[in-house]
Amino acid sequence: MNPTPVPGLVSAVMLVRNRWECTRRALASLARASGDFEVVVVDNGSDDGTADHLARPAYPRPLTVLRHEDDRGGGERRNVGAAAARGEFLFFLDNDVLVDDLDVVEVLAAEPAADPGLGAVPPLLLYPGDGALVQCAGGVSTADGRIGPAGRGQPLSADDKLPIWKRHTRVIRSRWREVFAAGPAHPAADLEWVPVHKDHSDLDRPRAWVAAEPGATDVSFFAGDRAPASAEPADVRVVLVGARDVPVVDGVRVVDGVRVVGVADPDVRALLPAARAHGAPWALRDAVRLVETVPAEGVVVALPDAAAVATASRRALPVLLGRKAAVDLADVATDRCSVDLPWAHHPELTALRKAVSEGGGVPGGFAVRVEHPGADLVAELGADALDAVERVLGVPVTAVRTVAATRDGVRAEAVAGGVAGTVGLGRGAPRLRVSVEGVADLDVPPVGGAYSDFVGALRGGPPPLTGWAAVAGVFGLVRGWRSEVAAPDRSGAGS
């Protein structure tokens, strides 16, 4: 193919064969990197369903997938990916690599961009599960004729990897210009590997450690690196912004397939107990720093922290918003956000919607009531009520007007598709009651589908049912409704 290169563009060429969970994580980490780049995935004969997943990705970067039925070796297939790439620079990586420095693409591309005579620049590779143990610090050649990767098993001695990275690229620059002309300049000791043991069977908790026994040997550089991981999907990692919204905190805890790796809350009294309850290794008061620095696939936001949501959006991280947070963050929420609406996934809503549509004609009216022991009735329950109306009638709510409001209850009138009805919010055990005139009634408790939906989307599944594009209109109405209820002339209204 060999398209005309686009100046300045980087093409990340990723070779994959099976191990979809590794591929998913590698693509997710790469998507969050900064800079101008595209991704070319070369499927080298996968037979584990990887091709099906790659056929329906929702990926924030330009993505090309080249599917091959057979395995023809890494060299040939990387050349295929390079031929399809549009970029001026090629960035080769495999599907067992996670990008944990967001500027890796820009840092590496800057070196050959500054020096047209430079042919290649390697990144610094660290062992997963240990941020201070080097797997490879680039290639060296020695006076006795050996060529290979350097630094295996050596400790990382600086707090910041980037200076080491830049220092290493300068070594490579020197080697390209001078070493091949003058002969090897690296001592043989640079290729002495420290034997390392690895355990990658659990992708959530990979381990690497320096062999302690005397005389231990490492058969080859890649020995054990390709040990198959568990066939079961690994837990997706999320960070939690806000520890005081108990329903959100508890909702994350009980969902299978999700692991909280960090918690942020400015209130230490809430922060530390939540971090302990989740077994989270990170507990920070600064939510932006948490989202920026802790490796994760998604963010759950229970506090109205616009900066944290903006940071997650910049890093291309999906966000699950608590209901109250969603009301306050409606101006900054993006299509990568979804909302925890605990009744939206209830099968009885779907059944009632079917009964309404099969009944023919326009319903004469509706009544909805939501109860929950919440503090801010409209912010915490208003979206549930209006979303239920939309899901049952199949049309958007276009207006809502408060009739009466007290601390313990709110009554309002609403219109959806020309059908008028009433909406009630109150305190009590969590329940949703919906009545459609001439059709049917329902009375149901909440369900936790939003979290399962969120986890499924993080694993490459379909967009969440309560994605922002589907519920943004409801939250726009709720913001106006909350302001109306809070107005001074409402303070003495009866319920």
Alpha helices in 9-124 (DSSP H): 20-31, 50-54, 74-84, 104-114
DSSP-derived pairing of the beta strands 236-241 and 125-126:
unpaired
Domain holding 246, by residue range, is 236-317
Residue 339, pLDDT score: 95
Q: Please check the confidence at residue 210 and state whether its pLDDT lies above 90.
A: no
Q: Please check the confidence at residue 47 and state whether its pLDDT lies above 70.
A: yes
In a domain, 340, yes or no: no
In a domain, 296, yes or no: yes
Task: Over range 10-18, report the average pLDDT.
Answer: 90
Segment 296-311, tens digit of pLDDT: 889 999 999 999 999 9
Residue 490, pLDDT score: 52
Segment 105-133, tens digit of pLDDT: 887 888 777 876 666 777 777 776 655 67
In this structure, are residues 188 and 143 in contact, taking their beta carbons and an 8 Å threshold? Answer: yes
Q: Please check the confidence at residue 384 and state whether its pLDDT lies above 80.
A: yes
Which residue has tokens 């601390």? 407
How far apart are alpha carbons 123 and 165 in whole angstroms?
A: 7
In a domain, 150, yes or no: yes
Domain termination site, one of 317, 338, 367: 317
Judge if 292 and 220 occupy the same domain. no
DSSP type of residue 217: -
In this structure, are residues 258 and 455 in contact, taking their beta carbons and an 8 Å threshold? Answer: yes
Range name among 62-66, 356-360, 363-367, 369-373 with the lowest pLDDT average: 356-360
Which residue has tokens 């210009």? 177
* Cβ-based neighbours of 346, under 8 Å, separated by 6 or more: 432, 444, 446, 447, 449
Residue 3, pLDDT score: 66
Q: What CATH number corresponds to the domain at position 45?
A: 3.90.550.10
Residue 189, pLDDT score: 62
Note the residue count of the chain: 495
Q: What CATH number corresponds to the domain at position 306?
A: 3.40.50.720
Judge if 352 and 422 occupy the same domain. yes
| 209 or 349, higher pLDDT | 349
Question: Six-digit token pair at 380?
Answer: 């915490």
In a domain, 468, yes or no: no
How far apart are alpha carbons 153 and 171 in whole angstroms?
A: 20
How far apart are alpha carbons 474 and 40 in whole angstroms?
A: 39
In a domain, 134, yes or no: yes
* Cβ-based neighbours of 347, under 8 Å, separated by 6 or more: none
Q: Please check the confidence at residue 237 and state whether its pLDDT lies above 70.
A: yes
Judge if 361 and 484 occupy the same domain. yes
Judge if 104 and 125 occupy the same domain. no
Task: Over range 278-282, report the average pLDDT.
Answer: 85
Residue 421, pLDDT score: 95
Judge if 301 and 391 occupy the same domain. no
- pLDDT category at 14 given cuts 50, 70, 90 is very high
How far apart are alpha carbons 119 and 9 in whole angstroms?
A: 16
Judge if 110 and 130 occupy the same domain. no
Judge if 110 and 127 occupy the same domain. no
The pairs formed by 397-400 with CB atoms below 8 angstroms and a separation of 24 or more are: 397/473, 397/474, 397/477, 399/477, 400/477, 400/480, 400/481
Q: Please check the confidence at residue 175 and state whether its pLDDT lies above 60.
A: no
* Cβ-based neighbours of 139, under 8 Å, separated by 6 or more: 122, 147, 148, 149, 150, 172
Q: What CATH number corresponds to the domain at position 351?
A: 3.30.360.10
For the question of whether the overall pTM of this predicted structure is more than 0.75, the answer is no
Segment 394-436, tens digit of pLDDT: 999 999 999 999 988 999 999 998 999 999 999 999 999 999 9
Residue 431, pLDDT score: 93
In a domain, 471, yes or no: no
How far apart are alpha carbons 233 and 19 in whole angstroms?
A: 10
How far apart are alpha carbons 65 and 43 in whole angstroms?
A: 7
Residue 129, pLDDT score: 60
Work out the mean pLDDT of the chain and round it to a whole number. 79
Judge if 16 and 31 occupy the same domain. yes
Judge if 145 and 253 occupy the same domain. no
Domain termination site, one of 230, 245, 270: 230
Q: Please check the confidence at residue 495 and state whether its pLDDT lies above 60.
A: no
In a domain, 324, yes or no: no
Domain termination site, one of 114, 136, 153: 114
Residue 152, pLDDT score: 72
Which residue has tokens 């939501």? 370
In this structure, are residues 391 and 344 in contact, taking their beta carbons and an 8 Å threshold? Answer: yes
Judge if 373 and 434 occupy the same domain. yes
Residue 161, pLDDT score: 43
Segment 78-87, tens digit of pLDDT: 888 888 888 8
How far apart are alpha carbons 101 and 473 in whole angstroms?
A: 37
Judge if 10 and 90 occupy the same domain. yes
How far apart are alpha carbons 134 and 155 in whole angstroms?
A: 6
Segment 256-273, tens digit of pLDDT: 777 888 999 999 888 888
DSSP-derived pairing of the beta strands 63-68 and 37-44:
parallel
Strand (E) positions, 265-372? 282-284, 298-301, 319-321, 337-339, 366-371
Q: Please check the confidence at residue 208 and state whether its pLDDT lies above 80.
A: no
Alpha helices in 303-345 (DSSP H): 306-314, 323-328
Alpha helices in 220-305 (DSSP H): 246-253, 268-278, 287-293
In a domain, 463, yes or no: no
Judge if 285 and 180 occupy the same domain. no
The domain tally of the chain equals 4
In this structure, are residues 356 and 363 in contact, taking their beta carbons and an 8 Å threshold? Answer: yes
| 323 or 225, higher pLDDT | 323
Q: Please check the confidence at residue 390 and state whether its pLDDT lies above 90.
A: yes
DSSP type of residue 193: P
Task: Over range 170-174, report the average pLDDT.
Answer: 41
